[in-house]
Chains A and B, each alone.
Chain A
Amino acid sequence: MVLEKINDLAIEDKESIMSTEIGSSSSNQRLSIEPDEDGAEITCFSEEVRDVTLHFQIIRLQKQIYAWIGCNSAKIGHIYAAAFTRPSNSVSITSILGGSSDNTGSSIARRLVMKTGLNIVLACNIPKNSPMLEADAELILVKKLISLGYTRAKPQLPPTP
């Protein structure tokens, strides 16, 4: 795919964007990917799950990934940042926006980091008390991140002297 040059503009509804429609009996996806070697790679798709439409937006930067999960709406929801942190390489997570008593999405962010090894900022508007929906959304997102080739190995601890 020919990459965008500097100062080129990419708009979602322009013909230059590659789009693929995937249909099946249990899900309905529209996948749109805008590749860019040096900048951001944006992937947008939707899927019908449990009578609900889940929207996914993945923006991949070189060292970090921003992901948004929308449940039937296009509100941004709560935002969390999660990553492996020194010294023990455990996953740390913090709420950036929203997420006081309702921390729906925080566990998704934590497990995304554990399963993919990536530095993640996750925005999620899945309503609270919907554990099955959270689990489905997480599964779909992890599969997509793996299929896009974004995952990397968990950082190794330095050898103890």
Chain B
Amino acid sequence: MEAPSTRFPVSHKKLSLNIKGNETTLVICGYDDHILVMVSQIGSMGTILHARKEEGISLLPTFNVSVIFGKRDEPMLVACARQLIEQISSSGSTRPLVLSLGLKDHSAETLRGIVASVIENRIW
């Protein structure tokens, strides 16, 4: 067993799922200032989104979700990122999310499965 001082500073989880018949790789990494979630069915990162909670004076939180690389005409991907950042924020973490979705299908069922799996295996 190694000493805590030599522990790698970024924690991560990796798992393989089967979502609607598609082999799906899920990697979740916790950096100091971001959470990276990588979901791949196509062997690459695919579309990359950035989601963060916006600071405001309102009691109700607001979130900024945007596609920073890839498909900008798939609203389900943005919805997936929004669901995850809401979950991260409600858990008390202030870290923004970098989400990569390399998917074969963009159906609501697939994205619901992804969101559920990420929340079940969260590291925040």
Contacts and interface: CB of A to CB of B under 8 A. Distances in A.
B14 A10 contact: yes
Contacts, number: 117
A44 interface: yes
B10 A42 contact: no
Interface residues of A, number: 44
A9 B121 contact: yes
Interface residues of B, number: 35
A75 B44 contact: no
Given A36-B14, A79-B48, 6 more contacts: A7-B16, A40-B14, A66-B45, A76-B33, A96-B68, A96-B69
Interface stretch (B17-25, B55-63, B86-94, B108-116): B17-25
A73 B16 contact: no
A8 B16 contact: yes
Interface stretch (A56-64, A103-111, A131-139, A145-153): A56-64
Given A10-B13, A38-B16, A76 B34 contact: yes
Nearest to A70: B9
Most buried by B among A8, A38, A96, A119: A96
Contacts of B32: 73-76
A77 to B, nearest CB: 9
A74 to B, nearest CB: 4
B12 interface: yes
Contacts of A30: 2, 6, 8
A119 B44 contact: yes
A114 to B, nearest CB: 19
A44 B15 contact: no
21 contacts: A4-B15, A6-B23, A7-B16, A8-B15, A10-B14, A32-B8, A39-B14, A39-B25, A39-B40, A42-B27, A45-B8, A62-B43, A63-B44, A64-B43, A68-B10, A70-B9, A73-B9, A74-B32, A75-B34, A76-B33, A96-B69
Main SS of chain A's interface residues?
strand
A36 B15 CA distance: 10
Given A57-B29, A96-B48, A119-B44, A12 B38 contact: no
Interface in B48-72: 48, 50, 68-69
B65 to A, nearest CB: 14
A46 B6 CA distance: 9
Contacts of A10: 13-15
Contacts of A12: 8, 11-13
A157 interface: no
Contacts of A51: none
Contacts of B12: 12, 42, 44, 57
